[in-house]
Structure 1
């Protein structure tokens, strides 16, 4: 079969994919209980354009879909319903912050994120509890992890896990002697930490 013979079939397939974007956009917005006006402010796309996209009267373009994918915190492939293709392995680069190395284990933007943390020993660290919205889960692969959670001061050994509401003041470090490796799961709120205010000296 020649490329010319396959052309109409490809066009029909593309039209089907693009035609399904509008209902998917509407379902995502309604699931997040977001109005068109709120989504317009978040993306910079006019309410009328958003309405026409959802109704199928406006053909979706990359310039429109990218800010919508960010606003809905989904991958672009998921937004258009594209089949999974390519290498499924995650090749994200490790990031080092305050001596700790974070290896991303997921690549989907937004939503639940998984990391492997490599934490050097800092036995003399002074706890500095922090709070933020969300819920954290931590699992110790090797080494030891000191977790200060509210009034609790715990040492987690390999094979032990902890989960907690992150609105509770919490702090963690590696008491040594060796390096600790920890798996952690958290949502996007987990990236916005706020140091808990200390009482003023009287």
Structure 2
């Protein structure tokens, strides 16, 4: 095996550890969700066990990630298959990772967004357009005017972004959302 391939395989364990930590999961919780023993998961993350498909596929399912993204596979030359995440701090003080899924100027934009916990006091913002997000993982706290909602995986929010709002993870764990934003007040299609 060449040195670069050996390095790529060696990086999978630490990468899996970061993904689990980012999701706020313990090894016990991950073992329960995947059916893989805690000791096997620990050895996989520490690099003492080589990654195999029978271990990686259940992890990809639980993490709701493509196998390529989860293990950091090298690019194939097809830019559609390798989306570039961007780290950013929002205007409301939330540190997040944003992965653009579309790049249609002037149309609805779609992002996967991973929101990191914050201790900052929420600051309501307004901006033109319409916002829609769907919670993929974690719990999202949404402040919309004087209302507050806690949204769990499978819940969604749909609101005029001109209304004062703030959203971020509820508690100490990150949250993941699929975020649609229409720059001209576009609404996410119903149904």
Give the structure-1-normalised TM-score: 0.47
Give the structure-2-normalised TM-score: 0.50
Q: Tell me which structure has the larger Cα radius of gyration.
A: 1
